[in-house]
Structure 1
Amino acid sequence: MTEPSPSSAHKGKSRASDPFERSNDLETAPLLGDGSSSTGSTTPAGKRKQPRLRHGRGPLVREDSDGDEPLPSNDSGDEESGTVRLVSDHPAQHARARWTWSSIACLVFAFIFCVSLLALAILHIWIGRLVSEQARHGTAEEMAQRGMVWAGPSAVRVQASEGREGLVVEVDGMAGIDVRKALDWEEKDKGGWVRRMEGRIARWGVRKARSVTVDVGEVAIYDASGNADAFSSSSHLILVNSLDSLRIPLSYPTLAKPLPTMHPFTLHIPLSFPSPRDLADFAKGVYHSKDYRIRAEIREIAAQVGDAKVKGPAGWLMRRLKATKVTALARIIEGKLPDVPTDTNPAEMVNLTSYGVYETSSPAHPNETVIALSASAIFQNPLADAIRQGRLPVVAWGVPFRLPISVHLPLPPLPQQKPGAPTEIALAKISSLPFFFPADSESAKLDISGHLVPAGNLTPPTTRPPTPSPKDGASTINSSDQPPLSRALSRFVARYLSGRPNDIYIRYDSAPEPPLLGDPAPDAPFPPRFVADMVEGQTFHVEVPGTNETPDFFKNLRMEDMKIRLGGGDDSNADLLATGKVVGEVVLPDAAKKLAKGIDAKVIWPDVLVYDGELPPHPYAQEEGEDIAAAAPDQLSFPPSVSIDDSDSTAYPPSPVPRNAFARMRPAQPMLAKTIHTPANSTHNATTLVEAAFVDAPLYLLPGRGDVLRRFVGKIIFGGNRVKASMAGITSVRIGLSGFGEVELVEIPIEASFMVGRGGIENPPPFAGLVGLH
Structure 2
Amino acid sequence: MDSTENAEDVPKPIDKGKRRAEDPTERTPLLGSSSSSAIDDPPPAVARRRLISKLTTVFLGTLVFSICAFVALALLAWSYASRATHVSPDDILNQGLVFEGPDRVDVLNITSSGGLWVNVEARVGFDAGSVIGVNSSPDGDGFFQDIWKSIGRWGVRTLDRVSVNMTNISLTSESVVLATIYPTPVVLPLTANPPSDSSWLTHISTPLLIQPTSNTSALVHFVREAWREGSAAVAANVASVDVQGGGFAEESWRSILHSALSDVRTALRLKIPPIPGIPQHGPIPPLTELVTLQSFDVRSSPNSLELAARASIPNPAPPSFNLTSPSIPFTIALPTSADSGLPAVPIASVTTAPFTLTHPNITLTISGSVLPLPAYASALLSTLLTRYLSGLPNPILVSTPYFPDLTVPLDFPGPNPRPHILRNVTIQDMVIKPHASSFVASGTVFARVVLPLGMDVSLHVGRVLPDVLVFDGEVPSIVDFPKTPNPRHDDPTPAPPPPFPDPLPEHAFGHIRPDDWLVSQSTPVPSEDGEGAAFAVTAKIVDVPLEVLPGRQKEFRNFVSKVIFGSDGAVAGIMGVAGVAVDVVGLPIPTENGEMELHGLPFQGKVPVGKKSLLGLGGAAKRGAKELKKELDKFLHRWQGK
TM category, shorter: 0.7 to 0.9
- Measure how far apart 1:401 and its partner are: 4.4
Distance in 2 separating the partners of 1:298 and 1:209: 25
- Measure how far apart 1:357 and its partner are: 0.9
- Of 700, 706, 718, 2:547 maps to 700
- Of 354, 361, 364, 1:443 maps to 361
Please tell me whether residue 148 in structure 1 is matched to residue 97 in structure 2: yes
Please tell me whether residue 709 in structure 1 is matched to residue 602 in structure 2: no
Is the CA contact 1:203–1:252 (under 8 Å) kept in the aligned structure 2? yes
- Measure how far apart 1:248 and its partner are: 1.3
Letter paired with 2:219: A
Counterparts of residues 473-512 of structure 1 (less than 5 Å) = 485-486=378-379, 488-489=380-381, 491-492=383-384, 501-508=392-399, 510=401
Letter paired with 1:692: A
Task: Name the structure 2 match of 1:280.
Answer: 216
**Structure with greater strand percent:** 2
- Measure how far apart 1:751 and its partner are: 2.5
Distance in 2 separating the partners of 1:133 and 1:248: 19
Task: Name the structure 1 match of 2:409.
Answer: 540
Task: Name the structure 2 match of 1:305.
Answer: 245
Please tell me whether residue 211 in structure 1 is matched to residue 58 in structure 2: no
Distance in 2 separating the partners of 1:269 and 1:698: 73
- Measure how far apart 1:410 and its partner are: 5.0
Is the CA contact 1:565–1:761 (under 8 Å) kept in the aligned structure 2? yes
Task: Name the structure 2 match of 1:661.
Answer: 508
- Measure how far apart 1:584 and its partner are: 2.4
Distance 1:201 1:686, change over 3 A: closer
Distance 1:120 1:554, change over 3 A: same
- Of 169, 180, 189, 2:118 maps to 169
- Measure how far apart 1:111 and its partner are: 2.1
Task: Name the structure 2 match of 1:728.
Answer: 575
Is the CA contact 1:677–1:689 (under 8 Å) kept in the aligned structure 2? yes
1:289-348 CA distance string (max 9 Å, x none):
5497766543432222235899xxxx84324x152222x324253658737657625455
Task: Name the structure 2 match of 1:73.
Answer: none
Distance 1:548 1:196, change over 3 A: closer
Please tell me whether residue 262 in structure 1 is matched to residue 201 in structure 2: yes
Distance in 2 separating the partners of 1:539 and 1:240: 24
Counterparts of residues 344-383 of structure 1 (less than 5 Å) = 344-360=285-301, 369-381=303-315, 383=316
Is the CA contact 1:208–1:306 (under 8 Å) kept in the aligned structure 2? no
Is the CA contact 2:455–2:533 (under 8 Å) kept in the aligned structure 1? no
Counterparts of residues 80-229 of structure 1 (less than 5 Å) = 93-94=41-42, 98-99=46-47, 108=55, 111-112=58-59, 114-125=61-72, 127-128=74-75, 131-132=78-79, 135=82, 139-141=86-88, 144-145=92-93, 146-160=95-109, 166-187=115-136, 190-220=140-170, 225=175
Letter paired with 1:355: F
Distance in 2 separating the partners of 1:211 and 1:89: 68
Letter paired with 1:742: E
Is the CA contact 1:435–1:444 (under 8 Å) kept in the aligned structure 2? no
- Measure how far apart 1:699 and its partner are: 0.7
1:16-42 CA distance string (max 9 Å, x none):
7x79x99xxxxxxxxxxxxxxxxxxxx
Identity of matched residues, %? 20
- Of 472, 477, 497, 1:612 maps to 472
Aligned to 2:184, the other structure's residue is in SS state coil
Unaligned stretches of 5+ residues in structure 1: 23-85, 227-235, 362-368, 389-393, 412-418, 459-482, 511-526, 625-645
Distance in 2 separating the partners of 1:599 and 1:259: 63
Task: Name the structure 1 match of 2:434.
Answer: 566
Letter paired with 1:94: P
Aligned to 2:42, the other structure's residue is in SS state helix
- Of 601, 614, 617, 2:461 maps to 601
Counterparts of residues 367-406 of structure 1 (less than 5 Å) = 369-381=303-315, 383=316, 387=318, 394-397=320-323, 399-406=325-332
Distance in 2 separating the partners of 1:268 and 1:540: 32
Distance in 2 separating the partners of 1:209 and 1:266: 22
Distance in 1 separating the partners of 2:578 and 2:273: 50
Aligned to 1:111, the other structure's residue is in SS state helix
- Measure how far apart 1:446 and its partner are: 0.4
Task: Name the structure 2 match of 1:744.
Answer: 597
Please tell me whether residue 578 in structure 1 is matched to residue 441 in structure 2: yes
Aligned to 2:454, the other structure's residue is in SS state helix
- Measure how far apart 1:687 and its partner are: 6.5
Please tell me whether residue 761 in structure 1 is matched to residue 614 in structure 2: yes
- Of 258, 269, 272, 1:323 maps to 258
1:686-722 CA distance string (max 9 Å, x none):
9632111112221111121122223322332333315
Aligned to 1:94, the other structure's residue is in SS state coil
User: How large is the Cα RMSD of the aligned pairs?
Assistant: 4.5
- Of 345, 353, 364, 1:426 maps to 345
Distance 1:219 1:131, change over 3 A: same
Is the CA contact 1:437–1:443 (under 8 Å) kept in the aligned structure 2? no
1:547-596 CA distance string (max 9 Å, x none):
675x332343222111222232xxxx42x221210122332234223x2x
Unaligned stretches of 5+ residues in structure 2: 22-35, 275-279, 486-492, 588-593, 622-627, 636-642
- Measure how far apart 1:107 and its partner are: 5.1
Letter paired with 1:758: K
Is the CA contact 1:498–1:548 (under 8 Å) kept in the aligned structure 2? no
Letter paired with 2:503: P
Larger radius of gyration between Structure 1 and Structure 2: 1
Distance in 2 separating the partners of 1:149 and 1:668: 78
Is the CA contact 1:503–1:542 (under 8 Å) kept in the aligned structure 2? yes
Distance in 2 separating the partners of 1:95 and 1:724: 154
- Measure how far apart 1:287 and its partner are: 3.8
Distance 1:375 1:497, change over 3 A: closer
- Measure how far apart 1:131 and its partner are: 4.1
Distance in 1 separating the partners of 2:517 and 2:429: 19
Distance in 1 separating the partners of 2:53 and 2:331: 89
Is the CA contact 1:225–1:293 (under 8 Å) kept in the aligned structure 2? no
Aligned to 2:607, the other structure's residue is in SS state strand
- Measure how far apart 1:396 and its partner are: 2.3
- Measure how far apart 1:286 and its partner are: 2.5
1:653-690 CA distance string (max 9 Å, x none):
2222101111011223432111234699xxxx996321
Distance 1:422 1:143, change over 3 A: closer
Is the CA contact 2:583–2:595 (under 8 Å) kept in the aligned structure 1? yes
Letter paired with 1:584: A
- Measure how far apart 1:358 and its partner are: 0.9
Distance 1:202 1:156, change over 3 A: same
Task: Name the structure 2 match of 1:408.
Answer: 334
Task: Name the structure 1 match of 2:451.
Answer: 588
